[in-house]
Structures are given as structure tokens and as C-alpha cells.
């Protein structure tokens, strides 16, 4: 599939979103030819934890799974302090029901737990008791891992933005096999030897 045929990736943005959690993901998806479209609660600007002001490309109500390759949900203080972001968890259900993948990291995993989306899928988060506090029914499916993919849903904890990106690249076929492993080793382990693998594959442009 040429880059011009790829549907865009939709990246949720909302007040207090954790701007560092998805930087590896969006940078290398863009390099691979994916359009990145930001999605806010409305069309009004939002402000990240790092005080970055973002003007969303479109409002949540205007996002349709059939127009997307992936929905990314970053963490945010608001996932734990209010119900303001519950509509994003409901949108995630809509995506998964339509067979379009969703990737959630940090606090967004708690939002999906409250929505019931982790009850029957293997998943991870910051720690198991963080999700247990939501009262969800999926505790038996919790995996102590840096990132987990199960039936179109990727989850990761707040300290694993590189593993989160790795799972997304693998799911979308951006990088595969040795190249995917090398990308992860370079950015997660500072493995200089991995750079040569990426350079040879044209993955470091």
C-alpha cells in the first residue's frame, strides 16, 4: 500500500494529556507516510501537561472508524480525576467493534478498563492495582509486560513509550522482524549496532 492510500492515524488530545508518551509513535508513523490527525473533545484548543497548546484537527464526534488506521489515546490527569474523557473510551469501543485498532497508554488504560474493554483482552498498564482501583472485571487478564497487543488493542504503561510505539509499528506493518527489533533496541536500549540495521533497511531516514 502506498503512503497516499493509507488512512490517517487519529491521535486524541485533551487537556492534561501526556505529550511525551506518543512522540516516538507519531514521528515514525509520519516518516512512514501516515497522516496524523489530532482529535479533541471539540474543535477548541487543548493544553498538554507540558503546557503545549494544540488546536485539534477535528472533534471527537466527527471521527469515524472507517476513515482511520488507528486511534491513539495518551494518558492524562483527567482520566483519573473526572469523567470528562469517557467519550474517548466509548469511541475506542466503536473503533474496536469496527475492527479498527486502538492504542492506549498510561491513564487511558484506566479509561478503557472502566468502559469494559479490558475485561476479555490481555492488557497491561502502570501496575495491576492501578487498574484494579477502577473496579473492572479484567484483573485476571493483566500481564506484567512493557506493552501488550490483543485483538487490535494495544496497552502500555507510562514508562514505556518506546515499547508502545513498537507494538503500533508491528500492528500496522510499519516495521517488521529484524527491523522492528532493531528500532526498539536503538531507542530503548541505546544499542548502537541496531542503527546499522535500520540504516541498511532505510528505516532511519
**pLDDT per position as a tens digit, 35-68:** 999 999 999 999 999 999 999 999 999 999 999 9
pLDDT digits over 83-130, tens only?
Answer: 999 999 999 999 999 999 999 999 999 999 999 999 999 999 999 999
Mean pLDDT estimate for the chain: 95
Active site positions, annotated: 106
pLDDT of residue 1: 47
DSSP run (H or E) holding 104: strand 102-105
Average pLDDT over residues 122-141: 98
Report whether 70 contacts 168 (CB < 8 A): yes
Q: What are phi and psi for residue 59, nearest 5 degrees?
A: -90, 155
3-class secondary-structure state, position 32: coil
Q: Average pLDDT for residues 185-194, to the nearest whole number?
A: 94
CB 17 within 8 A of CB 48: yes
Mean pLDDT of 161-187: 97
Q: What is the mean pLDDT of residues 19-34?
A: 97
Which cell is 125 given?
498498564
Q: Can you tell me the distance from the alpha carbon of 8 to that of 3, in angstroms, rounded to the nearest whole number?
A: 10
Instruction: Using the predicted structure, report yes or no on whether residue 202 has a pLDDT greater than 90.
Output: no
Please say if the pLDDT value at position 203 is more than 90.
no
Q: pLDDT (tens digit, 9 = 90+) per residue, 148-172?
A: 999 999 999 999 999 999 999 999 9
Placement of cell 536503538 in the chain:
186
Total length of the chain: 205
Identify the pLDDT of residue 5: 77
Residues whose CB is less than 8 angstroms from the CB of residue 101 and which lie 6 or more positions away in sequence, other chains included: 69, 70, 71, 95, 152, 153, 154, 171, 172
Amino acid at each position: 500500500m502506498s503512503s497516499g492510500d493509507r488512512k490517517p492515524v487519529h491521535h486524541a488530545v485533551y487537556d492534561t494529556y501526556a505529550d511525551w508518551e506518543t512522540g516516538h509513535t507519531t514521528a515514525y508513523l509520519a516518516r512512514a507516510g501516515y497522516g496524523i490527525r489530532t482529535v479533541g473533545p471539540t474543535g477548541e484548543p487543548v493544553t498538554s501537561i507540558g503546557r503545549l497548546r494544540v488546536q485539534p484537527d477535528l472533534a471527537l464526534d466527527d471521527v469515524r472508524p472507517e476513515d482511520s488506521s488507528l486511534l491513539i489515546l495518551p494518558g492524562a490527569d483527567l482520566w483519573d480525576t473526572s469523567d470528562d474523557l469517557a467519550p474517548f473510551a466509548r469511541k475506542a469501543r466503536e473503533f474496536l467493534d469496527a475492527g479498527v485498532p486502538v492504542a492506549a497508554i498510561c491513564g487511558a488504560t484506566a479509561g478503557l478498563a472502566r468502559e469494559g474493554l479490558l475485561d476479555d483482552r490481555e492488557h497491561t498498564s502502570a501496575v495491576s492495582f492501578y487498574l484494579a482501583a477502577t473496579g473492572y472485571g479484567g484483573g485476571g487478564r493483566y500481564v506484567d509486560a512493557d506493552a501488550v497487543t490483543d485483538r487490535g488493542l494495544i496497552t502500555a504503561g507510562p514508562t514505556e513509550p518506546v515499547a508502545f510505539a513498537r507494538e503500533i509499528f508491528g500492528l500496522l506493518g510499519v516495521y517488521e522482524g529484524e527491523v522492528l527489533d532493531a528500532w526498539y533496541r536503538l531507542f530503548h536500549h541505546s544499542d548502537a549496532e541496531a542503527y546499522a540495521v535500520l540504516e541498511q533497511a532505510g528505516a532511519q531516514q
